[in-house]
């Protein structure tokens, strides 16, 4: 016998059926709090890239391998970049970027900090993707500046989010005192380099487990210079050693008191990196050559250059490098790399160079 239902009886039955389905197969709701439990950067899935231009129109893209970051439950976000992990795909180019451009022995990290507003992202669980302009603070090469970036925030799942740049970020080298590094790179590679870098990023964060919110203290440790360097561990071959000594000779980061052979403590970070390289080239004898500017007499400058080269060799010897592996030579003012006609040029002529002898 066929049964008929009126609208009055059918509607309650449909509502009851939907309620029963919801009870049997509940749908996991996504939180409206965008920062619930906080977030941790998935470094393996994230990327930070920069594009540089040399020789007029030759563009090269490089990136950083070692990243760490988090977003706290109150919306404070930070990403740290180990500058030694710069990857240009060429070993000696990486070394030039580390020692000549970024001076990672003095400035091992770059830090990106953001204060995120929950009001901007509160509906992310429903929109799934939002385009926003975020103010941020960048600390790079000892300089801290406030800037803005256009980004896309995409909720991949309730526990995974992607934050990526939507427009290139132009970084003027002069803003971060990187012009001197650009000049050193140009001299070392014999190329012209545009004084501007273009940065883009793609950061992926995973939500922290309940009860384990991340805090800024987790990212507080400063990196040890050289720890993240992309290079072969252990002893290096002759080509790698020779290339590194040439690059370290161009840094200009070995300092002495005026008219003195006393090493300034500012020199120690570079010399410690130098020790590591000499130690990993055990079969080579190194000439430590001292050079001065033209101020003072020839005899005075000759003696000063010898004493300064000797001070560097003594420092390396105190770290464990055998004296038989180092030949100390003073050249005085006889081999300038620039004309001694300005304070800047004279500073470039006051230098220590390292040469492989065998």
**Domains within the chain, CATH numbers bracketed:** 39-209 (2.40.128.110), 238-356 (3.30.1330.60)
Q: What is the pLDDT of residues 228-280, one digit of tens each?
A: 888 888 999 999 999 999 999 999 999 998 889 999 999 999 999 999 999 99
Q: Give pLDDT tens digits for 335-347.
A: 999 999 999 999 9
Q: Residue 26: its pLDDT value, please?
A: 41
pLDDT at residue 22 is higher than 90: no
85 pLDDT above the threshold of 80:
yes
Name the DSSP letter for residue 97.
I
- pTM of the prediction? 0.86
Instruction: Provide, rounded to the nearest whole percent, the portion of the chain with pLDDT above 70.
Output: 91
Q: Residue 8's pLDDT band (boundaries 50, 70, 90)?
A: low
Quick one: average pLDDT of 303-321?
97
For residue 228, how many other CB atoms are within 10 A of its CB?
20
pLDDT the model gives residue 27: 40
* Higher-scoring residue by pLDDT: 114, 228: 114
Rounded-to-integer distance, Cα 282 and Cα 91, Å: 20
Q: Both tokens of residue 330?
A: 């003073």
For the cut 90, the answer to whether the pLDDT of residue 46 exceeds it is yes
Taking CA atoms, 155 is separated from 137, 165, 214, in Å, by: 24, 15, 19
């Amino acid at each position: 016998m066929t049964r008929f239902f009126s609208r009055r009886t059918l509607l309650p039955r449909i509502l009851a059926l939907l309620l029963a389905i919801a009870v049997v197969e509940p749908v996991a709701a996504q939180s409206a709090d965008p920062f619930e439990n906080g977030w941790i950067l998935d470094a393996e899935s994230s990327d930070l890239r920069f594009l540089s231009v040399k020789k007029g129109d030759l563009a090269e893209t490089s990136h950083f391998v070692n990243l760490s970051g988090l977003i706290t439950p109150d919306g404070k976000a930070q990403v740290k970049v180990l500058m030694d992990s710069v990857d240009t795909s060429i070993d000696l180019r990486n070394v030039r970027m580390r020692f000549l451009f970024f001076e990672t022995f003095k400035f091992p990290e770059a830090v990106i900090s953001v204060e995120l507003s929950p009001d901007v992202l509160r509906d992310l669980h429903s929109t799934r993707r939002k385009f926003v302009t975020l103010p941020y603070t960048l600390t790079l090469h000892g300089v801290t500046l406030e800037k803005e970036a256009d980004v896309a925030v995409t909720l991949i799942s309730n526990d995974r989010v992607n934050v990526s740049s939507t427009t290139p970020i132009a970084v003027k080298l002069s803003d971060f005192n990187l012009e001197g590094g650009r000049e050193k790179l140009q001299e070392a590679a014999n190329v012209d380099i545009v004084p501007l870098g273009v940065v883009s990023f793609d950061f992926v964060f995973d939500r922290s487990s309940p009860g384990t919110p991340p805090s800024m203290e987790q990212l507080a440790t400063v990196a040890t210079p050289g720890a993240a360097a992309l290079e072969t561990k252990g002893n290096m071959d002759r080509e790698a050693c020779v290339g590194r000594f040439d690059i370290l000779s161009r840094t200009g980061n070995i300092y002495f008191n005026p008219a003195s052979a006393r090493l300034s403590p500012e020199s120690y970070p570079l010399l410690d990196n130098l020790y590591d390289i000499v130690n990993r080239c055990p079969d080579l004898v190194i000439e430590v050559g001292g050079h001065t500017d033209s101020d003072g007499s020839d005899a005075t400058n000759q003696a000063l250059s010898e004493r300064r080269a000797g001070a560097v060799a003594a420092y390396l010897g105190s770290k464990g490098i055998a004296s038989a592996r180092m030949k100390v030579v003073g050249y005085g003012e006889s081999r300038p790399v620039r004309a001694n006609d300005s304070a800047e040029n004279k500073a470039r002529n006051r230098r220590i160079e390292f040469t492989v002898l065998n």
